[in-house]
Amino acid sequence: MLESLLFCALPYMMTVQDLKEYRECREDNKKIEYVADWMPTVSTYFKDEDVKQALKVIYCESSGRANAVGINKNDTRDIGLWQFNDDTWAWLTPKLKIKKDRTDPDTATAVASWLVYNDGWHHWNASKTCWNN
C-alpha cells in the first residue's frame, strides 16, 4: 500500500504545472514516509482513498508522536497523534463512549475517522496549509 501512495511521475513533455504537482507529490511523500509506521492503524479506520490525507494530518499535527502535547494560548492542551484538544476530547468522550486516553493511537485514530466521516476534515484546519495540497 505504501508504494501506491508514494508514486510521483514526471511526464515526458513537462509543463510548469506538472513540475509544481511533482514537487508537491514529493513533499507529500516525505511526510507520509516519516509517519509510515502508522499506516496499518490508519488503514484500519480510514477508507483507502483517505489514508494519504490522514497520514499527512498525523505528520502535520504531531510528527507521528503518540504522546505529543501542545499547549494553547487559552491553556487547553492538544494531545496525541491527532492533537485532540481538551475541549474536543471532553465533548467526544461521552458521545462515543471512549474508554482510553487520546494518546492511545488506535483510539485516537478511530475517533479521528469518526470525526472525518461525520463532520469532515475541518477539525484540523489549524494545520491545513501543511496537509492540504
pTM of the shown model: 0.86
Q: Where are the alpha helices (DSSP H) in 35-104?
A: 39-45, 48-62, 86-96
For the stretch 20-69, pLDDT in tens is: 888 888 898 999 999 999 999 999 999 999 999 999 999 999 999 999 99
Please name each of the domains of the chain with its CATH number. 12-131 (1.10.530.10)
Could you tell me if 32 and 55 are in contact, meaning their C-beta atoms sit under 8 angstroms apart?
yes
Could you tell me if 34 and 57 are in contact, meaning their C-beta atoms sit under 8 angstroms apart?
no
Does 4 have pLDDT greater than 60?
Answer: no
User: What pLDDT, on the 0 to 100 scale, is given for residue 25?
Assistant: 87
% of the chain residues with pLDDT over 70: 92
User: What pLDDT, on the 0 to 100 scale, is given for residue 3?
Assistant: 54
- The residue behind cell 504522546 is 67
Q: Where are the alpha helices (DSSP H) in the chain?
A: 2-5, 16-34, 39-45, 48-62, 86-96, 105-119, 128-131
